Amino acid sequence: MQHTPVLKVYKFGGASVKDAGSVRNLGRIVREHAQESQLLIVVSAMGKTTNALEELFQLAHAGQDYSTALAALKKFHCDMARELNLDADAPPEAVPHVTFGDVSLARLFEQLGDRLATLVPGEFDRQYDQVVSFGELLATVIVARALAAQWLDCRPLLRTDHTWREGRLDWPTTERNVRAEVLPLFSQGPIVTQGFVGGTASGQTTTLGREGSDYTAAIFAYCLQAESVTIWKDVAGLLNADPKVFADPVRYPRISYQETIEMAYYGASVIHPKTIKPLAVRHIPLLVKSFVDPAAEGTRIGDGRHEPLAPAFIRKDNQCLISFESKDLTFISEENLEVIFGVLAQVRLKINLMQNSAISFSVCTDFSAYRLEKLLDQLRSQFTIHYNTDLELYTIKNYDATSIARLTRGRRLLLEQRTRQTFQFVSQTLPAGQDALL
């Protein structure tokens, strides 16, 4: 009897494709599993490419010279293709010949150049998506060729609305598209596709929010009813803290969907917050494993109960604390709150924490100068508004007295809040150098 291979989704983030050696390592992992599984491989932009594209876009949008930044991005990808021997005969100045049908490295750079050259004032978010999405397109063309795998453009399949930079998925259409277009491809071997991007019905590119490639992996797994999703990372699994910020992190061997959603919500950079729900709905386990040590156990996120977890420490950087006071010293009322919430939603400033007192209402949000300015414009006439920037929001989930003492030591707390499971506070970002591992 023929054995039907199981369908798995793998996701490789920017760090796992940051240089040629990393791409070769990815190839080893894929080859090891491609026999017993049908693999759909979701890949993010290489290394820090998305940040580079954001900077490029900002320069171009502001009418400044971006030629050096564009040349650097091009060189990075061309060097990568060359180091991977994708076009051994390419002369040193040429873009290596890496193609899939009409799509090629050279063509992608032409298109990116055209987009940057034709930006129009305004419509920041829409144009951002048309530019920043190139990171994933470039990465997947290179990775697919290096693996001798199929290249899939996911933009016509993952249908979103027009919420630029955070496209909202049309699930029924996406599921139909993905099943019809992707299932027949598995018989020809592994498939490589882009994380982070989708497309509107009218064919414009959207992005799903920074770090959204995890979410892409979950969308494909949901639609294909995959057996599991594996996110390959540079850490040993899901940890209780970011090792770049906190000393001595511990790995959770098993953790529930619920706990993971909450950690992601509070800003743990482990997994994109939208990833879990589609997987939980279809009971698809999410494995977090190390691409440095692929045989190690990692973390299994899924249904079911587990031991009480060690406290989780989460820091969100670049926060802004905004306080609204009614001008006539009246109490903050439901009517006032309705106005404030309305404008926060409209300018798309997300509330990470909020607190109200008699005459003032405070929110902690991610800082964006552009969005904050829009908010001030609309609300300044009705409220006295104070804000502080350069703040950090700390969350301890499953806290105890020791963990609170450890994190708050030596810090001035601007705002503090405690529920049964979580302790949160906002404090000033410490000057560089004083910010040792906590």
Q: State the residues that interact with ligand ASP by CB under 6 A.
A: 13-14, 44-45, 50, 135, 195-196, 210-213
Going by C-alpha positions, the residue among 253, 264, 169 that lies closest to residue 207 is 169
Cβ closer to ligand ASP: 136 or 262? 136
CB of 198 to ligand ASP, least distance (A): 12
Cβ closer to ligand ASP: 140 or 395? 140
217, two tokens: 């992996």
Cβ closer to Mg ion: 239 or 414? 239
Cβ closer to Mg ion: 292 or 354? 292
Going by C-alpha positions, the residue among 424, 398, 425 that lies closest to residue 411 is 425
The partner in contact with residue 311, picked from Mg ion, ligand ASP, none with C-beta cut-offs of 5 to 8 angstroms by kind, is none
CB of 53 to ligand ASP, least distance (A): 9
Q: Is 267 in the site for Mg ion (CB under 5 A)?
A: no
Q: Is the backbone of residue 161 left (phi > 0), alpha (psi -120 to 50) or beta?
A: beta
CB of 136 to ligand ASP, least distance (A): 6
Cβ closer to ligand ASP: 196 or 383? 196
Going by C-alpha positions, the residue among 173, 136, 142, 132 that lies closest to residue 80 is 142
Cβ closer to ligand ASP: 50 or 352? 50
CB of 235 to ligand ASP, least distance (A): 15
- Looking at residue 355, its amino acid is Q
Q: Which stretch binds Mg ion (CB under 5 A): 6-14, 99-107, 243-251, 374-382?
A: 6-14
**Buried b / exposed e along 115-136 (16+ C-beta atoms within 10 A):** bbeebeeeeebbbbbbbbbbbb
CB of 13 to ligand ASP, least distance (A): 5
Residues 282 and 218: beta-carbon distance below 8 Å: no
Q: Is 212 in the site for Mg ion (CB under 5 A)?
A: no
Q: Is 285 in the site for Mg ion (CB under 5 A)?
A: no
CB of 57 to ligand ASP, least distance (A): 13
Residues forming a β-bridge with 422? 397
How many residues touch Mg ion (CB under 5 A)?
2
SS3 label, residue 164:
coil
CB of 44 to Mg ion, least distance (A): 4
**Buried b / exposed e along 181-204 (16+ C-beta atoms within 10 A):** ebeeebeeebbbbbbbbbbbeeeb
Q: How many CB atoms lie within 10 A of CB 298?
A: 23
Helix (H) or strand (E) holding 8: strand 6-12
The partner in contact with residue 210, picked from ligand ASP, Mg ion, none with C-beta cut-offs of 5 to 8 angstroms by kind, is ligand ASP
Angle at Cα 370 formed by Cα 367 and Cα 371, nearest 5°? 65
Q: How far, in Å, CA of 318 to CA of 43, rounded?
A: 27
The partner in contact with residue 212, picked from Mg ion, ligand ASP, none with C-beta cut-offs of 5 to 8 angstroms by kind, is ligand ASP
Cβ closer to Mg ion: 190 or 195? 195
The partner in contact with residue 194, picked from Mg ion, ligand ASP, none with C-beta cut-offs of 5 to 8 angstroms by kind, is none
Among 16, 22, 25, 44, binds Mg ion (CB under 5 A): 44
Placement of tokens 């019809």 in the chain = 180
Provide the pairing of β-strand 37-43 with 191-194: parallel
CA 303, chain centre distance (Å): 23
Cβ closer to Mg ion: 13 or 311? 13
CB of 49 to Mg ion, least distance (A): 8
Per-residue binding letters, 164-193, with Mg ion (x by CB under 5 A)? ------------------------------
Q: How many CB atoms lie within 10 A of CB 348?
A: 17
Cβ closer to Mg ion: 231 or 414? 231
The CA-atom distances, in angstroms, between 126 and each of 45, 62, 132, 165 are 19, 15, 10, 7
CB of 250 to Mg ion, least distance (A): 25
* 3-state percent breakdown (helix, strand, coil) of the chain, nearest 5: 40, 25, 35
Cβ closer to ligand ASP: 25 or 213? 213
CA dihedral 100, 102, 103, 109 (to 10 degrees): 150
238, two tokens: 């899901």
Q: Is 14 in the site for Mg ion (CB under 5 A)?
A: yes
The partner in contact with residue 20, picked from ligand ASP, Mg ion, none with C-beta cut-offs of 5 to 8 angstroms by kind, is none
CB of 89 to Mg ion, least distance (A): 32
Closest CB to ligand ASP: residue number: 213
The binding site for Mg ion (CB under 5 A) comprises 14, 44
